[in-house]
Chain A
Amino acid sequence: MKLGSVAREKTRSGFLAEVRRRSGTNPADCYQCGKCTAGCPLTFAGDLDPARVMRLVQLGQRDAVLQSRTIWLCASCETCTTRCPQEVDLASVMDALRIMAREAGLTQAAREVAIANAGLLGSVKSRGRVHEMMLVLQQNLRTLHLFRDAEKGPVLMLKGKMDPLGHKRGARDQVRRLFENVARMEAAERAASTTPRCACSDEGGEA
């Protein structure tokens, strides 16, 4: 971490304000007690612990945060959010950071997670419901682990959790409309974030 960049107020507060706006919670409230880290079930696996993620956000370390594996490993269990004495909603921050990382194309650190994410959404978008079998096959093809978890397939099929033909189709039209709505909202959001705004006035995100 280059400490010189910490001092540059504009970059620092710009990133902080963006995370604040998009997560609806203020990362500056974090006083680094570490309670989130202590409770996070995935601290052992990540490269940054949750409290460090918050610290780097405070210091405006955009690249370090968006390129970290931790934000992708986060299981959204919300233990951190529940326990934080400062009432920081860390799970939302993690969410916002994932979105920002995808927008910036910074998903290399957790390529497989990003692929899984994209595959899942693609499947839902086209069929209105996940096709588990296809999802797994695609994932294994794209990550070049052809037979990973193959032994689990029969068990899942026997229990009716996975169907080679795909489950009955979901409410495809409604789901498609959902995707369209989200796309529209994201476009509006992008338009709004390009217009300069005062960082202090956007508590809780867009009204």
Chain B
Amino acid sequence: MARVGVFICHCGENIARTVDCARVAEYAATLPGVAHAVDYRYMCSDPGQRLIETAIREHGLTGVVVASCSPHMHEVTFRRTVARAGLNPFLCEMANIREQCSWVHEDREAATAKACELVRLMVEKVKWNTALEPIHVPVTRKALVIGGGIAGIQAALDIANGGREVILVEKGPSIGGHMAQLSETFPTLDCSQCIMTPRMVEVKNHPNITLYTYAEVEKVDGYIGNFAVTIRKKARCVDEALCTGCGECQSKCPQGKLKTSVIPNEFDLGLSRRPAIYVPFPQAVPNVPVIDKEHCRYFQDGKCGVCQKVCPAKAVDFTQTDQVVTEQVGAIVVATGYDVMSSGEYGEYGGGRYPDVIDGLQFERLLSASGPTGGEVKRPSDGKVPETVVFIACAGSRDRSHGVPYCSKICCMYTAKHAMLYKHKVHHGQAYVFYMDIRAGGKNYDEFVRRAIEEEGAVYLRGRVSRLYQKDGQLIVKGADTLSGQPVEIAADLVVLATAIQARPGSDALAQMLKVPYDGYGFLSEAHPKLRPVETNSAGVYLAGACQAPKDIPETVAQASAAASKVLGLFSMEQMEREPTVSVVNERTCIGCFDCERVCPFGAIEHREIRDRRGNLLKVVSHVNEGVCAGCGACATTCRSGSIELRGYTDEQVFAQIAAVGV
């Protein structure tokens, strides 16, 4: 005979304002099978929980119903409470009389009646509940980090320093990402490469990190704790083990001879040219060249082969092919970063047409000592030192008409930095900044922008530029200063557009492969915007850096370390506990139609062969992988032979609830 305890929570005023909790408790006490019913101000508080524990012991309860908020809030709390009193946690159910009752109704009488009904339904269900034991899944304590920008580097180092193995996969020939392209960084103006390269080297030398550069993740199977990932290592055509990084090949490649070279250097965003065999930048990790087959003469018409001849280490190998490796990992950190909108998208600003209209990243290269001008600010068209530079903020961001209504967050800061660094390099130069609002929230950030204005003489003009055009070797910028209400016209030598930060092309395909939701702009979505900012809704997959939203370096690094700590937390156990509310198949009645396999959104259905003692195949039935099953119940409702049951939501339990409606 069932002995159910019912506990009605007031949630302060939240429930009690609309629901007469004492009356609900009185009513519950009259229900068949209910041995005890009380109401209390805060059931989740310590005394509230003690109330439940004591009642379980004193009344010998076999089931508990807590009528309070949504199970999303406190199911875990109350399950632990009943477990402390020696009852199986899955014999506890919650009736939601807050979100589904008091918060959405005003009529006290009707709300109280509805609360009684919700309680009755749960009492009927809990009578059919059975004790369930958590599922244990083994955990492969090795992580995969996708993307080798500062986010991926930080996450990999943190996990590796925590004593776990890491595989870092980077698409490009070197790790470093965008941070390696930057000159100096706000708000402290320290040299980006100086603070970054030690970390890059550490990644290379760390015994716990396996680095795959020039590689991409092709396939991800499995589930939290047990992923199988397929990685394609593209052919570099240079043997990493033999190459000494002497650079002989690069300097001799005929495609790189200055005048004739036509290959834009991606690292310098097209501001310089590179040979067909190249290392993207001097501090690259690994310092091993790759051959760009599209532009290599040997691959195009079978001639040349100079690099192979001059290489003293005999490392050049034209016959190298892509290699595909499979790795087992327990957790995945996605750190694939961002892209900047091309300035070509802004016709009215002459982007893509005028060589002296460049984007912010290109300006970083002009400022950088490792850049095409050796750190001197010279404009691309004629190499002249620009004496007037106009910076245009929000060139693409906060612009519905260009499909980017969001704020890119970092441009205000790097534009102030650009104005400042320009002044440091060209003392007699004048910087103008067109802006709409200055967003400089952050430690020492607003002070930084004020410094650009007050001490470095940058003239800030509040307004959007309408148009710019070329005239007599200069760029005429037409804007307005809305603070003085005056139209403004400036003849500039160079114009720098702070173009929008966007998700990488292909981030949607990657997200689909990892089953991670993403927003309309292609940024990957965190599981909760406030409380679970580095987790995703795909268990075991975490986010770090600008692949989630535009961010600066401090934020990126913080998020990367947070993701690493989540991974290390997961890896602190050899086995992982999962909720037992998963589907089970009755192998006797399953007819092997596999409709369940077609509807399962998580790929949890496997095929199991049933054989007799002599090994003859009798039939193939469905089997649910408990590690993957998310307990959504799609299979159970689809199964035509009624062979699948979702634990905790069995037919008996659900029918009992339905039967209790409106009694």
Contact = CB atoms under 8 A, between A and B. Distances in A.
Interface of A: 31-39, 43-44, 49, 51-52, 79, 83-87
B402 A85 contact: yes
A34 B402 contact: no
A52 B482 CA distance: 9
Contacts of B479: 34-35, 38
Contacts of A39: 466-467, 478
A44 B348 contact: no
A33 B479 CA distance: 10
A134 B256 CA distance: 73
B348 to A, nearest CB: 7
Nearest to B397: A85
B398 A85 contact: yes
Contact of B488 (A38, A51, A79): A38
26 contacts: A33-B436, A33-B464, A34-B462, A34-B463, A34-B479, A34-B481, A35-B463, A35-B465, A35-B466, A35-B479, A35-B480, A38-B463, A38-B465, A38-B466, A38-B479, A38-B480, A39-B467, A44-B487, A49-B480, A83-B348, A83-B467, A85-B398, A85-B400, A85-B464, A86-B400, A86-B401
Given A33-B436, A49-B480, A83 B485 contact: no
A83 B482 contact: no
A42 B493 CA distance: 27
Nearest to A83: B466
Given A31-B436, A38-B487, A39-B466, A87 B478 contact: no
Nearest to A36: B466
B322 interface: no
B478 A33 contact: no
A100 B398 CA distance: 32
B109 interface: no
A85 B401 contact: yes
A97 to B, nearest CB: 19
A35 B400 contact: no
Given A35-B464, A38-B488, 11 more contacts: A31-B436, A33-B463, A34-B464, A34-B479, A34-B480, A34-B481, A35-B465, A35-B466, A35-B479, A37-B466, A43-B487
B480 A52 contact: no
A16 B400 CA distance: 21
Contacts of B348: 83
Contacts of A52: 485
A51 B436 CA distance: 13
Report which residue of B398, B464, B467, B478 has the largest number of chain A beta carbons within 10 angstroms of its beta carbon.
B464
B106 interface: no
Given A35-B464, A37-B463, A38-B466, A85 B399 contact: yes
Interface string B487-508: 1100000000000000000000
A37 B401 contact: no
Contacts of A84: 401
Contacts of A33: 394, 436, 463-464, 482
Contacts of B481: 34
B436 A37 contact: no
A159 to B, nearest CB: 32
Nearest to A29: B400
B400 A87 contact: yes
A146 B589 CA distance: 103
A84 B464 CA distance: 10
A71 to B, nearest CB: 17
Contacts of A38: 463-467, 478-480, 487-488
A49 B484 CA distance: 11
Given A33-B464, A85-B398, A87-B401, A49 B485 contact: yes
A129 B58 CA distance: 99
9 nearest A-B pairs in the assembled complex, by CB-CB distance:
A39-B466, A34-B463, A38-B466, A35-B464, A38-B480, A85-B399, A33-B464, A34-B482, A34-B480
Interface in B443-475: 462-467
A51 B400 CA distance: 17
Nearest to B487: A43
A37 B125 CA distance: 67
A86 B401 CA distance: 6
A83 B479 CA distance: 12
A85 B479 CA distance: 14
A16 B579 CA distance: 55
Contacts of A86: 400-401
A35 B468 CA distance: 12
Nearest to B402: A85
Nearest to B477: A38
A84 B398 CA distance: 11
B475 to A, nearest CB: 15
B341 to A, nearest CB: 13
Report which residue of B348, B402, B436, B480 has the largest number of chain A beta carbons within 10 angstroms of its beta carbon.
B480
B461 to A, nearest CB: 9
A136 B401 CA distance: 42
Contacts of A49: 480, 485, 487
A32 B398 CA distance: 12
Report which residue of B465, B466, B467, B487 has the largest number of chain A beta carbons within 10 angstroms of its beta carbon.
B466
Report which residue of A33, A35, A87 has the largest number of chain B beta carbons within 10 angstroms of its beta carbon.
A33
A87 B399 CA distance: 9
A51 B480 contact: yes
Report which residue of A39, A49, A86 has the largest number of chain B beta carbons within 10 angstroms of its beta carbon.
A39
A153 to B, nearest CB: 35
A74 B163 CA distance: 70
Contacts of B478: 38-39
A61 to B, nearest CB: 16
Contacts of A51: 480, 482
A140 B487 CA distance: 33
Contacts of B398: 31, 85
A94 B478 CA distance: 22
A87 B485 CA distance: 22
B159 to A, nearest CB: 42
Contacts of B466: 35-39, 79, 83
A37 B482 contact: yes
Report which residue of A31, A32, A37, A52 has the largest number of chain B beta carbons within 10 angstroms of its beta carbon.
A37
Report which residue of A34, A36, A52, A85 has the largest number of chain B beta carbons within 10 angstroms of its beta carbon.
A34
Interface string B382-423: 000000000000100011111000000000000000000000
Report which residue of A31, A39, A85 has the largest number of chain B beta carbons within 10 angstroms of its beta carbon.
A85
B123 to A, nearest CB: 45
Contacts of A87: 400-401
A84 B482 CA distance: 15
Nearest to A32: B482
Contacts of B482: 32-34, 37, 51
A79 B479 CA distance: 13
A36 B394 CA distance: 15
A86 B465 CA distance: 14
A162 B467 CA distance: 37
A33 B348 CA distance: 16
A178 B464 CA distance: 41
A79 B394 CA distance: 20
Nearest to B479: A38
Interface string B624-649: 00000000000000000000000000
Nearest to A48: B485
B390 to A, nearest CB: 13
B394 to A, nearest CB: 8
Contacts of A36: 466
Contacts of B402: 85
Nearest to A51: B482
A39 B466 CA distance: 5
